[in-house]
Structure 1
Amino acid sequence: MDNQSSNPNTNRIVHWLKNSITARMFIIGILSLILLIPLFMVQDLIRERAERQENVVTEINVKWGDAVILYGPVLRVPYRSFREKQITNSQKEVITESIEEIEYFYFFPDKLKIESNINPEIKKRGIYKTSVYKSKTSISGSFSAPDFSNEDISKENILWDKARIIFNTSNLKGVNEQINIEIGNSEYTFNTRYQQKNTLPSAHQNLYLMESEVLNPIDLPIDKAISFNMRVSVNGSSEISFVPIGKTTEAEIKSDWKTNSFTGSFLPFNENKLTEEGFDAKWKILDINRPFPQSFRDNLPELSEYAFGVNFMIPVDEYQKSERATKYGFLVIGLTFLVFFLIQTLSRIPIHPFQYLMIGLGLVMFYTLLISISEHSSFLKAYLIAGISVILLISLYSKSILNGWKFPVFIGVSLLALYSFIYVIIQLESYALLVGSISLFLILGGVMYVSRKIDWNNY
C-alpha cells in the first residue's frame, strides 16, 4: 500500500519539475548562484596575477633604482644658541647655568635652474615589464646673502666657518657618478651622512642626506650672492621629480619617451611640450606659488609632497579591465539563462539542468581566456578571441539542444550584442553608469515584451 501511494506523489513531483515554469525558474536560479563560485575564483585569480605583476615590477625597480626625488642644494649655516638651566650645587643652592648648543639655519637658493635629460628603457622579466631610465641633470643657480636681521642671533654666534651645502635624494643606489658642487671659486664633494631609515608610514619616499665639505669663507654668500653649479647622474625607475626650493625655479626635462605623465603639484607651462620624438617640458615656479618659505630654522622639512616631475611607468590596465569585466559576469550568465528559458518556454523544447550548467561554465571560461590571453597581447585582441570562442562554443552547443539553426543563431547574436555592450561599458568612465542604466532598461523592456505571450496561469 505504501509503494502504491508513494508512486503517484513521486510522479506528480517529477511531472511538476519537468513542466512547471516555477520549478524551471527555481532550478535556473540555483544554477546561477552555484556559478558565482567559479566566477569569484576567477576574480581571485585576476587579483593574484595583478599582485604578481606588481611584485615583479617592484623587484626590478629595487635592483635598478627606485623613483628619484632630488631636493637641493640647501645652504646650512650653524649658529650658537644658549639656554638657561637651573641646577643645585653641593651647598644645596639653586643656581642658573647657561648651556651652549649648536643649531642650524637652512637657506634655499634665490635662483634655481634644472635641466634634465632622461633616457628610459624597458626591462622585462617573463611576461612582465617595467620602465627604468638613466638621467643626467644639471642644477645651477645662486644663493643670496642670508638675512638674520629678523632672528634673535648675534653675528658673533653665526658659525660661518662650519657652513656646508646639503643635498637630498630618495635614491642613493642609483647614483652612478660622484656628486660635486662648484660654488664660488671652489669645488666640493658630497658625502653621504648616515640616517636611520624612517619606519613611520608615509605617502612619500625616504630622503637621504648628503653634505659637502666645509665651505671656504670666500665661497660663502656672506655679503653678496654666490652662484653654484652641479651635475647629478642617477639611474631610476618609474618617476623622476624635483622639489622647487628656489625663490624662482626654472626646470626643463627632455626625453624620447612617448607614454609620459606629468605629475606633482605643478604642471609644465609650455604648450608644445609633447613632440613626435618624445617631450620637452618646461616649468617656472615662484616662491609665491608654494606654501613654504625660503629659510627654515632648526630642522629642514620633508617637502616631497610639493615636488613636480614626470612619470615613466608603463600603463598596465589589463588586469583592471579584466576585473571590471568579471563584475558583469553574473549579468551575462543571468541574461543568457533568461534567453534559453524564454526559448524553452515558448517553443516547449526541453533543456536539462545539466545543459544549463554546461552553458554557464562556458560563459565563465570567457574570463579565464580573457586574462590569460591579455597577459601576452592587448586587451582588445584578448577580448575578441575570448568572446568569439565562447560565442561559437555556446552557439554550436545550443544547436544540438534546440534542433535547428534559428534559435542558435539568435543566441549567438544575443551574446555578441551582450559582450559588445560590456566592452563599451568597460571603456567608458564618465558615462558608464548612464549607458549601462539605459541599456539595461531597454533589455528589461524587451524581456517584458517577449514574456507577455506566456500564459502563466497554465503552470
Structure 2
Amino acid sequence: MKYQLLGKGLAVGGFAVMLSLVLTRISFLVDERAARQRDAVRSVQQSQAGAQTLVGPLLQRACSEEWDSEVGEGKERKRVVERRDFTLQAAPAELTVDSSLRSELRYRGLFKVNGYAGHFKLDASWASADAMKPRAEHVDGRLQCRPAVLWLGLSDVRGVREASATVAGKTRAVKPGTPNGELAQGFHVELPEDWPAASDSAALAAHVELELVGIARLALVPVGEATRWVTKSDWPHPSFGGRFLPTARDITDQGFDATWQVSALASAAPRQVLSGAKLCEPATALAEPGDETAYPAAVAAAAPECLDTLAVSFIDPVNPYVLSDRATKYGLLFVGLTFIAVALVEVLGRGRVRRVHPIQYALVGLALTLFFLLLLSLSEHLAFGIAYGIASAACVSLLGVYTAHMLGRRRDGITFGGAMALLYGLMYVLLQREQTALVIGSVGLFAAVAAVMWLTRGVDWYRMFDEALATAPTQAVPRAAAE
C-alpha cells in the first residue's frame, strides 16, 4: 500500500483516542470512590459526632424591669404596668484552654475516617461581677432576674462523654443546653440566686473539664479578652486553619504541640458572641479529598456575621484518592511518551528490529492504563507507596517482556523496561512533591524532548519514508486486465 505509513499513523492515533476514553473512565471511578469516602465520613458523623467547635464559657443572666406609667387623657387616663426583658452577658477577661487529643480512627468498610478524643481543661476568669448586675432605666423600675448561668456551646453535643464545672471554688451541677439562641447545643451551670450581691464586685473564676470526641476537625472560639489555647496530640499530620495560626507549634512523627494566643485587639470574637453572631461551619472532611483544611472564602467574607475560630484539622497527607486522581491526569502523557518511545526504537533500529503493528501499540497503551486501575484498587488496601511500587513493578515487567518479543531482541525489552521504570519513578516524585511538581514535570518533559531530538538528529526522514514506500508491497494486477 502506498499509504501504509499514513494508515498506521491514523490507527495509532485512533487507539490513543480510545485509551484516553479509558483513562477518563478510570478518572470517573476515582471520583466515585472518593465520593464513597465522603459518604463514610457522613455516616460516622451521623452515628457518633462531627467536627467540633467550642464556644465559651460565658456568663448570661435573664432579667426584667417593670415600672408604672400613665396613659390616656382626662377621664381615660389610667395607670398601667410596663415591662421590658433584657439579657446580661459577660465574656471572660482571660481564657486558658489546655487540651490533650488522641486519635480514634473509625472505619466504614474500606474507608478510614479520622476521629479524635480529647480531654479539655478550660479556665475562665472575670475581673468583676458588675456586668451581671442589672440596672434600672426608670426611676421606679422594679428589677427581677433569674439566676446567672455559666454556659459552654458545642457544634455537636453528641460528642460529650463527660463534663464537670467548678465555679467560685464550688462544684456545680452540669445541665444540658445553653440559654443562647444561636448556640443552643452545649451545657450550662446555674449560679446561686443571690449572686452577685449588690455590694459584690469580686472577681469570678470558673474551671470546666470536658471529655469530647469528634471527627476530622477541632476549633475554638477565642471568647476571652485574652485567650490562650495549648493543645497536644498524637496525630502527626495536623493542618492549622481558622482565622488565626498558632503562635508556636512543634510537629513530629509522634504528634504535634501547638499554642495559640489571641487578644480582643485582634479578634472580634468576644463582641461577636455577645451580639449573637452565628457559628459558621467551614468545610471539613465533607469537602473534596485533600481539602479538609479549607476555610471557605464565604466564611471569611462574612466575618461580621460568623464567629472567629482557631482550628486544627486531622488530615491524611497521602490520600489515595487525591494521589490516584493526580496520577490519572498524567495518564495520557504517559501513553504519548510511551508511543513515542516505541516509534523511536522502531525508527532507530530499522532493519535490526521487527516492525510494530498498530495493535501492538494499542496493547502497550492498554497495559499503561491498567496501571492506574491497579494503583487505585491496591491503594485502598495498602499504603500508597507500597501500592504504587507493586502496580509499577507489574506494569514494567509486563511491558519489558512484551517489548522484547515485539521487537525481537531481549536487549531492547530490557532498555524499554528501564525507561518505563524511570518514567514511573518520575511520576512518583511528581505525586509526592506537590509544591515543586510543575518545575519537575516541565524539566522532565524538556529532557524527554531533548533526548528524542538528539537520538533522531541523524535520521533522514525523507529517505526513510521513500524507502518505506519503495519497499511496500504493491497490489497484484489481474491477468485478464494485463492482456
Q: How high is the TM-score relative to the length of structure 2?
A: 0.77
More displaced stretch, 362-371 vs 58-67 = 58-67
Aligned to 1:291: 268
Residue 137 (structure 1) aligned with residue 120 (structure 2): yes
Structure 2 counterpart of 1:106, one-letter code: Q
Q: Secondary structure at the residue paired with 2:334?
A: helix
Aligned to 2:228: 250
Residue 455 (structure 1) aligned with residue 453 (structure 2): no
* Counterparts of residues 20-35 of structure 1 (less than 5 Å): 20=5, 22-35=6-19
Alignment check: 8 A CA contact 1:80 1:159 kept = yes
> 1 CA distance for matches of 2:329 and 2:319?
16
Residue 295 of structure 1 deviates from its aligned partner by: 7.8
Out of 22, 40, 62, the position equivalent to 2:24 is 40
> 2 CA distance for matches of 1:280 and 1:427?
25
Q: Secondary structure at the residue paired with 2:230?
A: strand
Structure 1 counterpart of 2:335, one-letter code: I
More displaced stretch, 396-405 vs 336-345 = 336-345
Aligned to 1:362: 367
> 2 CA distance for matches of 1:77 and 1:112?
20
> Cα–Cα, structure 1 residues 405 and 106, in superposed 2: closer, same or farther, change >3 Å?
same
Alignment check: 8 A CA contact 1:180 1:189 kept = yes
Query: Deviation string for 1:349-384 (max 9, x for gaps)?
Result: 322221111111111111111111112222222222
* Counterparts of residues 106-125 of structure 1 (less than 5 Å): 106-125=89-108
> Cα–Cα, structure 1 residues 145 and 295, in superposed 2: closer, same or farther, change >3 Å?
farther
> Cα–Cα, structure 1 residues 378 and 28, in superposed 2: closer, same or farther, change >3 Å?
same
Aligned to 1:174: 159
Alignment check: 8 A CA contact 1:170 1:207 kept = no
> Cα–Cα, structure 1 residues 258 and 444, in superposed 2: closer, same or farther, change >3 Å?
closer
* Counterparts of residues 55-134 of structure 1 (less than 5 Å): 55-80=39-64, 100-134=83-117
Aligned to 1:227: 205
Alignment check: 8 A CA contact 1:240 1:309 kept = yes
> Cα–Cα, structure 1 residues 449 and 377, in superposed 2: closer, same or farther, change >3 Å?
same
Residue 43 of structure 1 deviates from its aligned partner by: 0.7
> 1 CA distance for matches of 2:150 and 2:132?
18
Q: Secondary structure at the residue paired with 2:174?
A: strand
> 1 CA distance for matches of 2:148 and 2:97?
24
The total of aligned residue pairs comes to 429
Alignment check: 8 A CA contact 1:263 1:310 kept = yes
Residue 177 of structure 1 deviates from its aligned partner by: 2.7
More displaced stretch, 70-79 vs 358-367 = 70-79
Structure 2 counterpart of 1:59, one-letter code: S
Residue 57 of structure 1 deviates from its aligned partner by: 2.9
Alignment check: 8 A CA contact 1:391 1:415 kept = yes
Structure 2 counterpart of 1:46, one-letter code: V
> 2 CA distance for matches of 1:109 and 1:392?
67
Q: How high is the TM-score relative to the length of structure 1?
A: 0.81
Structure 2 counterpart of 1:38, one-letter code: V
> 2 CA distance for matches of 1:359 and 1:170?
53
Aligned-pair identity in percent equals 27
Residue 184 of structure 1 deviates from its aligned partner by: 6.4
* Counterparts of residues 336-415 of structure 1 (less than 5 Å): 336-346=338-348, 347=350, 349-415=354-420
Structure 1 counterpart of 2:380, one-letter code: E
Residue ranges of structure 1 left out of the alignment (5+ in a row):
1-14, 199-205
Alignment check: 8 A CA contact 2:50 2:214 kept = yes
> 2 CA distance for matches of 1:220 and 1:127?
60
Structure 2 counterpart of 1:112, one-letter code: L
> 2 CA distance for matches of 1:193 and 1:405?
77
Alignment check: 8 A CA contact 1:115 1:139 kept = yes
Report the aligned-residue RMSD.
3.7
More displaced stretch, 224-233 vs 288-297 = 288-297
More displaced stretch, 105-114 vs 185-194 = 185-194
Structure 1 counterpart of 2:18, one-letter code: I
Structure 2 counterpart of 1:353, one-letter code: P
Q: Secondary structure at the residue paired with 1:177?
A: strand
Aligned to 1:325: 327
Aligned to 1:419: 424
Alignment check: 8 A CA contact 2:136 2:143 kept = no
